[in-house]
Amino acid sequence: MDIELSNDDLSFEAEVREFLAGNAYKDGEDPNKWRMDWFEKAREKGGWDVPKWPAKFGGPGWTPNQHYIWQKETARSSTPWDMPFGLSMLGPVLMAHGSEEQQDRFLPDIRARKVNWCQGYSEPGAGSDLASLKTKAVLSEDGSHYVVNGTKIWTTMAHIADWIFCLTRTSDAGIKQEGITFLLFPMKQEGIEVKPIITLGGSHSVNTVFFTDIKVPVANRVGAEGKGWTYAKGLLEHERTGIAGISNSIVALEGLKDKASSVKRGNGSLMDVSSFKAKVAALEIDLMAVEYTELRSLATASAGTAPGPESSILKLKGTDIQQRIQKLTMEAGGQFSAAWGGTNAGPDFARAGMGGYMGSRVYTIYGGASEVQKDIVTKKVLGIKSSKK
């Protein structure tokens, strides 16, 4: 996709490229020091360490075009790893609904990448139907704190997290979306047990987390008691926009074309085979369409507003595209892709094929399954009401 870039945009693009090239990781550097220095230098550029935060909270206040340029350029460069939970998920919720005291207390450490957060939403029996969650928070008689008991599941990075933002039930009265309260508390305390879940790809990133009589001061409640569902939904919209990963898919698609071009077929390469080429072309067209959708959502994000239900379109299409890229990469590797890391035969890229393919299965589940995103798009974007009584 080529969007119209003004002269100002072009000089911004050059500045971004210069920054990224000048601060790329160099062999032999201490990766942690490089990471922290990188964020510090990005901060000195005027909020480049928190690109999506509004200017009021230290962000750069970029135009949608500038965001687009940043995403495109960072996807192609060596940038440090970052966790989304504090920066892109809790941060915006605190900015919109947290007290000034909470903003002053939590945002600086999130920005400095000093505190790792995890997301305590899903429970056994409350995934797609998240509002059925049962983790109880009971207010103490003197009204000073809540006592939390319950279980969360699929909690990514809970084993290394310092803090959790957690949806709890403070009331069973009314519809299930009412009575949900958004609490923040430290993970490293007695009464919290974290058990690893090893996933299909053989890795450990998700966990089951058990809470027994955890005391949470009322000062750690975000917004009003019983109104957590509203804040939780806003957070999910930010999460879904991030999961879509459009810029990374653009780079991955270029990689796919290179890989397929290296696979010989007759006198040419796999990229000359019309049936394969048609699949790549269809993918590229879908990617361009979703890129424009993302650009519209960047405009709302830079104004500090939650992206809205349109983020479900991004999540739905963005994750479908990521999976199709993995699938075509497997196809390009042919039979060699089936041997998961265990053979030296075939092209180098084929060895990672199966791992990447298996790993990509989760994209259409976490952050809300694709079927659920379709429901949201149908109801909230298209305005079509269910025919069910």
Ligand X SMILES: Cc1cc2nc3c(=O)[nH]c(=O)nc-3n(C[C@H](O)[C@H](O)[C@H](O)COP(=O)(O)OP(=O)(O)OC[C@H]3O[C@@H](n4cnc5c(N)ncnc54)[C@H](O)[C@@H]3O)c2cc1C
- What is the Cβ-side half-sphere exposure of residue 328, based on CA atoms within 13 angstroms? 29
Cβ(283)–Cβ(327) under 8 Å?
A: no
Min dist. Cβ of residue 153 to ligand X (A):
7
Residue nearest ligand X, Cβ-based: 127
Cβ(131)–Cβ(176) under 8 Å?
A: yes
Please identify which residue in 357, 366, 376, 377 interacts with ligand X, judged by CB under 6 A: 366
Min dist. Cβ of residue 39 to ligand X (A):
23
Across the chain, the runs of DSSP E, i.e. the strands, are 117-120, 136-139, 145-153, 163-169, 180-186, 192-198, 204-217, 221-222, 264-265, 268-269
Instruction: Based on DSSP, count helices (H) and strands (E) in the chain, helices before strands.
Output: 12, 10
DSSP 293-312: HHHHHHHHHHTT----TTHH
Number of residues that bind ligand X (CB under 6 A): 18
Distance in angstroms (rounded) separating the CA atoms of residues 58 and 66: 16
Give the nearer residue to ligand X in terms of CB position, either 128 or 171.
128
Please identify which residue in 301, 368, 376, 377 interacts with ligand X, judged by CB under 6 A: 368
Close Cβ partners of 191 (under 8 Å, ≥ 6 residues apart): 211, 212, 213, 214
Binding positions for ligand X, 285-344, rule CB under 6 A: none
Q: C-alpha dihedral over 55, 166, 369, 295, to 10 degrees?
A: 0
Min dist. Cβ of residue 234 to ligand X (A):
15
Q: Which two tokens stand for residue 63?
A: 């135009």
Min dist. Cβ of residue 181 to ligand X (A):
16
> Binding marks (x or -) toward ligand X, 128..167, rule CB under 6 A?
x-------------------------xxx-----------
Output helix, strand, coil percentages for the chain, rounded to the nearest 5: 50, 15, 35
> Binding marks (x or -) toward ligand X, 205..244, rule CB under 6 A?
-x--------------------------------------
Min dist. Cβ of residue 256 to ligand X (A):
23
DSSP-derived secondary structure letter, 230 = H
119 binds ligand X (CB under 6 A): yes
- 73, 225, 239, 310: which one is catalytic? 239
Close Cβ partners of 386 (under 8 Å, ≥ 6 residues apart): 379
> Binding marks (x or -) toward ligand X, 77..116, rule CB under 6 A?
----------------------------------------
Give the nearer residue to ligand X in terms of CB position, either 60 or 86.
86
Among 303, 301, 319, residue whose Cα is nearest residue 89? 301
Q: Is 239 a residue of the active site? A: yes
Please identify which residue in 48, 53, 106, 121 interacts with ligand X, judged by CB under 6 A: 121
Give the nearer residue to ligand X in terms of CB position, either 204 or 265.
204
Residues that bind ligand X (CB under 6 A): 119-122, 127-128, 154-156, 206, 362, 365-366, 368-369, 371-372, 375
Positions annotated as catalytic residues are: 239
